[in-house]
Amino acid sequence: MEIKFFPYDFEYKVKEDETFIYLYGKLENNSKICVIEKYRPYFYAQVSNIHRKQLNKRLSDLQIEDNKKIAKVTSYEECEKELLGKKKDFWKIYVNYPKAVPIISKELSQWGLECYEKDILYTHRYLRDREITPFTLVQAKGDFIDENRFRVPVFLAEEIKQFSKDRLKNVKLLSIDIETYSKNKIIQMDKNPILMIAFYGRDEKGKEFKKVITWKKFSEKKDYLEFVNDEIDLLNRFRQIMIDYNPDILTGYFSDGFDLPYIKTRAEKYKIKMDLGLDYSEIYTGSKYNNNNLSNATSKIKGILHLDIFKFIRNIFGKNLKTESYSLNAVSNELIGNSKHDIKIEKLADTWDNHPEKLIDFCEYNLHDAHLALQLFEKLFFDIIEFTKIIGLPSDDIIRMRFSKLVESYILQRAKEYNVIAPNKPAKNEIEQRFEETYEGGFVYEPTPGLYEDLIVFDFRSLYPTIITAHNIGPEALNCDCCDDKEKVPGKDNYWFCTRKKSFLSKVLERIILRRVDLKRLIKESNEEEKLLLESRSYALKVLANSFYGYMAFFGARWYCIECAKSTTAYARDYIQSTIKKAEEKQFQVVYADTDSCFLLLGDQIMDQAMEFMNEINFNLPGHMELEFEGYYPKGLFVALKGKEGGAKKKYALITKEGTLKITGFETVRRNWSPISKEVQQNVLRMVLEDKKEEALEYIKEMISKLKSGKISKEDLIIKTQITKDLRSYSSIGPHVAVALKMLEKDIPVGPGTIVEYIITKGSGLIRERAKMLEEVKQGEYDADYYLNNQLIPAVSSIFLVLGYNEEDLLGEGKQEGLGKFF
DNA sequence: TCCATCCGGGG
DNA sequence: GTGTACGGATGGA
């Protein structure tokens, strides 16, 4: 019989010398299913100069003991494939189970054979070979079989193929979050119990499911609240809820390294079988989950797709965010405009022991955290889906990848189509060598400090990707034999790239670029919901395209090519520098440039002339390269490097016609600056860019006198610094450490990760002796001189210097030379 | 300034 | 799971 289903979770099992892939998913009627198919593991060996008859004999005799198993070769096929641009003969060698691949290939390497694709994960290999895309409709021919140890029907497939691009739209989501007993910020899974578990789910129809279970009773009642007797009951109840609710996707925030390992640890302690897998298997956690290295732990439940949304944010999506911290609170604030509940989680243990009547606040908090994780997941689900579909690997692997791995996975996906064999990962000594390599990056034009008007900013769209494709950059094309008389890389006389045969990498990259061009057109024509999905797709493709350049210089890359990376930046420098030159030839004054952008002054010319200049540049650009008009800014400020003559690179502020500030490189966003410095810096920048120089001077003087007279509210003076290690191990006691020690004396828990907030107060002695907690400080008790010299003045001095005022001018101490000079 | 170590997220 | 992170910040030499 024939069935169609949407697979989204994958594993394999070895049964009596045969290996089966298990594809968990849903039928079109929303019911769950597990489809299994036999699949044979293999790798490649290069046999170009090998005595084949002899090899055949040796392979058939080969048997290697591996625990109780015997690894052996089952068969082989001859094939021709391309390795780094050269066609070579290979044997595709099949072995009797997946883990025999590394064992057999290692032995063959010792025989002197070059082995390839011997470390491709088995499920990944399967998905690529079968061309199956997770979350989309797949057809299977075969029959249902009796498997009593399964929570869902099992279908044994004889044939599986992708049926259509239809995507699974109805998913049942569940987010979980636990709160645990912890007295001193130290997390000890083996010692401290789980106190409560929150669930926040949404089913296929959008119906919500909310629940918090806890094992301390109190009088407050809530619909979602359920009491159990003890931690054992809590764990059993958790198991039952998971089984009953039966989500397709489970999420959480750091559930990979915290919630699931914690639950597993506690369940093991009480010998409770946490057999949540659809095959009754227990929660799987990466082996190192309890020895202090949780940050890359993985937790899986077979058949239920567990996607820790923190992982996707930390590894991939976080690069779009402004936040420096990937804490649930910071991320939720930025992405969904929602904060965690404002309670002191460090008081939970005490409340649990001594004030159970107040536990309701913690239950609310618990549920809210689960809700936040669910909302984050829903916000990013399209992005995860699109990355998954484009790369064609399981989502739970995708979200755990960094950019280099994403790109490599994408390239590997294409390798099969182009009959390309993947080069091996570098060995240890090779990696060490690669680490040594450094090279020149983008070109940055040193600005002359000043306040400029009528700035036009142009930038090259996707500069590095378009250079790579336009100049056919890639390992196979580097210094080819066929065209060494051709164009050399600018400034690199010993590098050139083939102009006859396209390199595999640039072909792959070009396809991404073209797909994005298509998508942009589609997005314009599509409705709102479709648009969101297509934008996610476009974003995923953009991330991939932009990662190619970095990938070629990445030490772990299979298609590593440092010459390619060097050439890419060399071309980029050449393009931006020649753009600057041409702009100057056209009588535009260039004030700044950085890698792919160029800032010029309109001067006496009109916008049409600037556009004409851009069109002329574009006329001569190869491939998909394009210089774009980024914007017009009435005013722009470039400041000097502290204590130096020259202009600071990557530090400037622009204002748009509409009055929006574009600030780059200034301190306004950093944590260890007090709110007052940030605010003053922003205001001064705005006034200067709005051409209100005198107003800015008056403003700063007013703020200085306000500060001096003690009128700044203490909240605006808080400096925040994070405690990063155990307090005793600090050898130099900075103000934040001194305050942390005071907090400890007052029984306020402090440990690594605590952000200490303090104010520097008046008096004599060391700064650290005058650093105090907010509540200790009376209004106006702060040390005005400290704030002036270490916060306010440093935040604005470089800006005023451009206007001709030095620090004395601001402080009203010196003569006001600036006025005469500039107005 | 360089090199080695520490840290993230979670309670 | 055909396996063992990684890149930035920090602090000591």
User: What's the pLDDT tens digit per position in A551-566?
Assistant: 999 999 999 999 999 9
Mean pLDDT of A515-521: 96
Q: What are phi and psi of A13, to 5 degrees?
A: -140, 145
Where on the phi/psi map is residue A589: left (φ > 0), alpha (ψ -120 to 50), or beta? beta
* SS3 label, residue A793: helix
Assess whether A202 and A163 both reside in one domain: no
Query: What is the rounded distance in angstroms from the CA atom of residue A518 to the CA atom of residue A256?
Result: 37
Mean pLDDT of A425-432: 90
pLDDT given for residue A743 in this prediction: 76
Sheet holding A771-772, edge to edge: A719-722, A755-760, A771-772
Residue A303, CB, less than 7 Å from strand B? no
Q: Show the tokens assigned to A491.
A: 């400034």
Assess whether A682 and A623 both reside in one domain: no
Q: How many CB atoms are located within 10 Å of the residue A591 CB? A: 19
Task: Please indicate whether residue A239 or residue A297 has the higher confidence score (pLDDT).
Answer: A239
Q: How far apart are the first and last CA of chain A?
A: 87
| A213-222 confidence digits (pLDDT tens) | 999 999 999 9
Residue A725, CB, less than 7 Å from strand B? yes
pLDDT given for residue A817 in this prediction: 45
Please report whether residue A506 resides in a domain.
yes
pLDDT given for residue A271 in this prediction: 97
Nucleotides of C under 7 A from a protein CB: 1-7, 10-12
> If you measure CA to C1', which residue is closest to nucleotide C9?
A724
| Residue A422 contacts residue A558 (beta carbons within 8 Å) | yes
Q: Show the tokens assigned to A369.
A: 């955290």
Distance in Å, residue A393 CA to nucleotide C5 C1'? 19
Instruction: Evaluate if residue A821 carries a pLDDT over 60.
Output: no
> If you measure CA to C1', which residue is closest to nucleotide C10?
A724
Q: How many CB atoms are located within 10 Å of the residue A767 CB? A: 13
Mean pLDDT of A744-760: 70
Residue A57, CB, less than 7 Å from strand C? no
Please report whether residue A653 resides in a domain.
no
C-alpha dihedral, A761 to A763 to A767 to A773, nearest 10°: -30
pLDDT given for residue A726 in this prediction: 60
Domains: count for chain A: 4
Query: What is the rounded distance in angstroms from the CA atom of residue A12 to the CA atom of residue A21?
Result: 4
| Residue A444 contacts residue A650 (beta carbons within 8 Å) | yes
Residue A344, CB, less than 7 Å from strand B? no
Could you say which of A139, A167, A195 is where a domain stops? A167
Specify which residues A140 forms β-bridges with: A3, A160
Please report whether residue A417 resides in a domain.
no
| A188-202 confidence digits (pLDDT tens) | 999 999 999 999 999
Which residues, 6 or more positions from A221, have their beta carbon under 8 angstroms from its beta carbon? none
| Residue A261 contacts residue A301 (beta carbons within 8 Å) | no
Distance in Å, residue A182 CA to nucleotide B11 C1'? 6
Specify which residues A594 forms β-bridges with: A444, A597
Nucleotides of B under 7 A from a protein CB: 6-11
Which residue, A580, A550, A560, is CA-closest to A464? A550
Of all nucleotides, the one whose C1′ comes closest to residue A129's CA is C2
Please report whether residue A412 resides in a domain.
no
Distance in Å, residue A721 CA to nucleotide C4 C1'? 34
pLDDT given for residue A58 in this prediction: 94
Q: For residue A693, what is the domain's CATH number? A: 1.10.132.60
> If you measure CA to C1', which residue is closest to nucleotide B9?
A254
Distance in Å, residue A25 CA to nucleotide C7 C1'? 36
Query: What is the rounded distance in angstroms from the CA atom of residue A321 to the CA atom of residue A330?
Result: 10
Mean pLDDT of A348-357: 96
Assess whether A72 and A205 both reside in one domain: no
Q: How confident is the model at residue A816 (pLDDT cuts 50, 70, 90)?
A: very low
Query: What is the rounded distance in angstroms from the CA atom of residue A730 to the CA atom of residue A750?
Result: 14
Assess whether A181 and A158 both reside in one domain: no
Residue A185, CB, less than 7 Å from strand B? yes
Query: What is the rounded distance in angstroms from the CA atom of residue A250 to the CA atom of residue A228?
Result: 23
Distance in Å, residue A104 CA to nucleotide C2 C1'? 11
| Residue A459 contacts residue A527 (beta carbons within 8 Å) | no
Distance in Å, residue A295 CA to nucleotide B9 C1'? 7
Instruction: Look up the domain containing A87 and give its range.
Output: 2-167
Residue A528, CB, less than 7 Å from strand B? no
* Sign of the CA dihedral running A803, A807, A809, A815: negative
Instruction: Evaluate if residue A822 carries a pLDDT over 50.
Output: no
Task: Please indicate whether residue A365 or residue A762 has the higher confidence score (pLDDT).
Answer: A365
Q: For residue A371, what is the domain's CATH number? A: 3.30.420.10
Assess whether A681 and A789 both reside in one domain: yes
pLDDT given for residue A737 in this prediction: 75
**A239-253, A635-649, A803-817: least confident range:** A803-817
| A317-340 confidence digits (pLDDT tens) | 999 998 888 999 999 999 999 999
Q: Show the tokens assigned to A486.
A: 């051709």
Contacts of A494-503 spanning 24+ positions with Cβ under 8 A: A495/A563, A495/A566, A495/A567, A495/A570, A497/A471, A497/A472, A497/A473, A497/A567, A498/A472, A499/A472, A501/A85, A501/A476, A501/A477, A502/A472, A502/A477, A503/A85, A503/A472, A503/A473, A503/A474, A503/A475, A503/A476, A503/A477
Assess whether A583 and A728 both reside in one domain: no
Instruction: Evaluate if residue A753 carries a pLDDT over 60.
Output: no
Please report whether residue A223 resides in a domain.
yes
Query: What is the rounded distance in angstroms from the CA atom of residue A26 to the CA atom of residue A8?
Result: 8
pLDDT given for residue A823 in this prediction: 33
Specify which residues A138 forms β-bridges with: A5, A162
Name the average pLDDT for chain A: 91
Instruction: Evaluate if residue A520 carries a pLDDT over 90.
Output: yes
| One-character DSSP codes across A674-720 | -HHHHHHHHHHHHHHHTT-HHHHHHHHHHHHHHHHTT-S-GGGG-EE
Query: What is the rounded distance in angstroms from the CA atom of residue A574 to the CA atom of residue A566?
Result: 12
pLDDT given for residue A286 in this prediction: 79
In percent, the amount of chain A with pLDDT more than 90 equals 76
DSSP β-ladder status, A173-180 and A249-252: parallel
Instruction: Evaluate if residue A724 carries a pLDDT over 60.
Output: no
Instruction: Evaluate if residue A92 carries a pLDDT over 80.
Output: yes
Assess whether A440 and A383 both reside in one domain: no
- Which helix (H) or strand (E) segment holds residue A546: the answer is helix A528-552
Q: How confident is the model at residue A768 (pLDDT cuts 50, 70, 90)?
A: confident
| A624-646 confidence digits (pLDDT tens) | 999 999 999 999 999 987 777 78
Query: What is the rounded distance in angstroms from the CA atom of residue A48 to the CA atom of residue A600?
Result: 58
Mean pLDDT of A242-271: 97
Distance in Å, residue A299 CA to nucleotide B2 C1'? 38
pLDDT given for residue A793 in this prediction: 87
Assess whether A246 and A162 both reside in one domain: no
Assess whether A592 and A711 both reside in one domain: no
Assess whether A522 and A471 both reside in one domain: yes
The strand C neighbours among A residues 540-579, by Cβ under 7 Å, are 554, 556
Task: Please indicate whether residue A67 or residue A165 has the higher confidence score (pLDDT).
Answer: A165
| Residue A535 contacts residue A543 (beta carbons within 8 Å) | no
Residue A122, CB, less than 7 Å from strand C? yes
Assess whether A588 and A472 both reside in one domain: yes
CA angle A358, A265, A299 (to 5 degrees): 105
Query: What is the rounded distance in angstroms from the CA atom of residue A204 to the CA atom of residue A798?
Result: 57
Please report whether residue A666 resides in a domain.
no
**A6-10, A293-297, A516-520, A748-752: least confident range:** A748-752
Which residues, 6 or more positions from A815, have their beta carbon under 8 angstroms from its beta carbon? none
**A517-521, A679-683, A730-734: least confident range:** A730-734
Residue A402, CB, less than 7 Å from strand C? yes
> If you measure CA to C1', which residue is closest to nucleotide C1?
A121
Of all nucleotides, the one whose C1′ comes closest to residue A189's CA is B11
pLDDT given for residue A723 in this prediction: 61
Assess whether A150 and A271 both reside in one domain: no
Rg (CA), chain A: 31
Q: For residue A144, what is the domain's CATH number? A: 3.30.342.10
The strand C neighbours among A residues 84-113, by Cβ under 7 Å, are 98-99, 101-102
The strand B neighbours among A residues 361-380, by Cβ under 7 Å, are 369
Q: Show the tokens assigned to A124.
A: 């990944």
Which residue, A378, A174, A176, A202, is CA-closest to A261? A176
| Residue A810 contacts residue A796 (beta carbons within 8 Å) | yes
* Burial zone of A548 (CB within 10 Å; 0-12 exposed, 13-18 middle, 19+ buried): buried
Of all nucleotides, the one whose C1′ comes closest to residue A550's CA is C7
pTM across the whole model: 0.91
Distance in Å, residue A769 CA to nucleotide B6 C1'? 27
Could you say which of A136, A167, A198 is where a domain stops? A167
Residue A479, CB, less than 7 Å from strand B? no
Could you say which of A144, A167, A190 is where a domain stops? A167
Please report whether residue A698 resides in a domain.
yes
Of all nucleotides, the one whose C1′ comes closest to residue A732's CA is C11
Please report whether residue A651 resides in a domain.
no
